[in-house]
Amino acid sequence: MNSPAILRSTLTCPQCGTEREETMPTDACQFFYECTGCHTLLRPKPGDCCVFCSFGSVKCPPVQQSSPCCR
């Protein structure tokens, strides 16, 4: 049995380094995130399903659970 997914992840902007803890959605992938520091619009890196998998301290809940994601 899988352990419960972690639902909080700290996103780090690659442009300015601003960090912000956010709650991840459990029913959808988050494709865009606007940095609260420099207002850069973050998008997933190629091969990642969401901004949390690309820029977060914790991967999204589906990836944590080894489930299919929104690719």
Domain around 33? 8-63
* Residue given tokens 């207002």 in the structure block: 39
Q: What is the mean pLDDT of the chain?
A: 91
Task: Report the domain count for the chain.
Answer: 1
- pLDDT at residue 3, rounded to an integer: 80
pLDDT of res. 2: 63
Which residues, in sequence order, are bridge partners of residue 56?
11
- Give the pLDDT score at 58: 95
For residue 66, the model assigns a pLDDT of 82
In a domain, 2, yes or no: no
pLDDT tens digit string along 37-63? 999 999 999 999 999 999 999 999 988
Q: In angstroms, what CA-CA distances link 45 with 4, 37, 49, 56?
A: 26, 20, 8, 12
| Alpha helices in 1-71, H assignment, sequence order | 51-55, 61-64
Is 51 part of a structural domain of the chain?
A: yes
19, pLDDT greater than 60:
yes
